């Protein structure tokens, strides 16, 4: 036996792994395509509309009454910053979708202020997406999407709609705001799906 430490057989792995083309930041940049909408909590509601037209609505107090999860996740913006280990509290989309009778494959997410983004319904399920209303132990600040934003950390962060207002479930895919402007329909950071054709 040589004088080799156990486990020291290959090249050292990098301390952190980032998706291709991303750099690490400790800041939390604000990226908004328009002004920050202010939504009074008594006026806030979240609606899921199934492809049948059936609507399910939650008020702010309805949302707070649902079981919450704390999640610590890495986030990746298509403008190339990544932030590791962000901690959020919110309601899993699995919880919200549980009572919705739908066979739709596509979702179009709607925000207060008019922003939209699309993704497969499958990506909202299986513990992959949350309606987040707390960030790092405090109420989610308005500039980061408060009172409530969608959090879908396995896709580029433009899919995580701030000031989320509802989700339409659809049988056909319909592009949202950035997707209409040439960004990728799906947006997997690990496959570097930034733009259409990537």
Ligand X SMILES: Nc1nc2c(c(=O)[nH]1)N[C@H]1C(S)=C(S)[C@@H](COP(=O)(O)O)O[C@H]1N2
The footprint of Mo ion (CB under 5 A) covers 31, 77-78, 158
The footprint of ligand X (CB under 6 A) covers 28-33, 77, 111, 113, 115, 144-145, 157-158, 160-163
Distance in Å, CB of 180 to Mo ion, minimum: 15
Q: Which is nearer to ligand X, 102 or 131 (CB)?
A: 131
Q: Which is nearer to ligand X, 22 or 111 (CB)?
A: 111
Residue 30 binds: one of ligand X, Mo ion, none (C-beta under 5 to 8 A by kind): ligand X
Q: What is the C-alpha to C-alpha distance for residues 29 and 41, in angstroms, rounded to an integer?
A: 25
Q: Which is nearer to ligand X, 68 or 82 (CB)?
A: 82
Distance in Å, CB of 57 to Mo ion, minimum: 29
DSSP state of 169: E
Q: Which is nearer to ligand X, 51 or 142 (CB)?
A: 142
DSSP state of 170: E
Q: Which is nearer to Mo ion, 71 or 77 (CB)?
A: 77
Residue 145 binds: one of ligand X, Mo ion, none (C-beta under 5 to 8 A by kind): ligand X
Residue 113 binds: one of Mo ion, ligand X, none (C-beta under 5 to 8 A by kind): ligand X
Task: Give yes or no for a contact between 101 and 87, defined as CB atoms under 8 angstroms apart.
Answer: no
Distance in Å, CB of 130 to ligand X, minimum: 14
Contacts of 149 (CB under 8 A, 6+ apart): 131, 132, 133, 140, 160, 161, 162, 163, 164
Distance in Å, CB of 5 to ligand X, minimum: 41
By CB neighbour count within 10 A (0-12 exposed, 13-18 middle, 19+ buried), where does 58 fall?
buried
Buried-state track 128-148, b at ≥16 Cβ within 10 A, e below 16:
bbbbbbbbeeeebebebbbbb
Sign of CA dihedral 17, 132, 32, 56: positive
Distance in Å, CB of 65 to ligand X, minimum: 25
Distance in Å, CB of 76 to Mo ion, minimum: 9
Residue 56 binds: one of Mo ion, ligand X, none (C-beta under 5 to 8 A by kind): none
**What 3-state DSSP class applies to 15?**
coil
């Amino acid at each position: 036996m040589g004088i080799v430490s156990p486990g020291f057989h290959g090249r050292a792995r990098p301390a952190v792994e980032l998706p291709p083309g991303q750099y690490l930041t400790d800041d939390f940049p604000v990226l908004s395509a328009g002004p920050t909408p202010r939504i009074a909590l008594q006026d806030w509601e979240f609606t899921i509309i199934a492809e049948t037209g059936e609507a399910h609505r939650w008020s702010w107090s309805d949302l707070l009454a649902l079981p919450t999860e704390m999640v610590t996740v890495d986030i990746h913006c298509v403008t190339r910053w990544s932030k590791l280990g962000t901690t959020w509290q919110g309601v899993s989309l699995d919880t919200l979708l549980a009572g919705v009778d739908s066979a739709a494959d596509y979702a179009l997410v709607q925000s207060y202020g008019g922003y939209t983004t699309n993704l497969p319904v499958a990506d909202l399920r299986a513990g992959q997406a949350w309606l987040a209303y707390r960030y790092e132990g405090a109420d989610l600040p308005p500039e980061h999407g408060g009172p409530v934003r969608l959090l879908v950390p396995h896709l580029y962060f433009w899919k995580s709609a701030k000031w989320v207002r509802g989700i339409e479930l659809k049988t056909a895919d319909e592009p949202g705001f950035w997707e209409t402007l040439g960004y990728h329909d799906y947006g997997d950071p690990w496959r570097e799906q930034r733009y259409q054709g990537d």
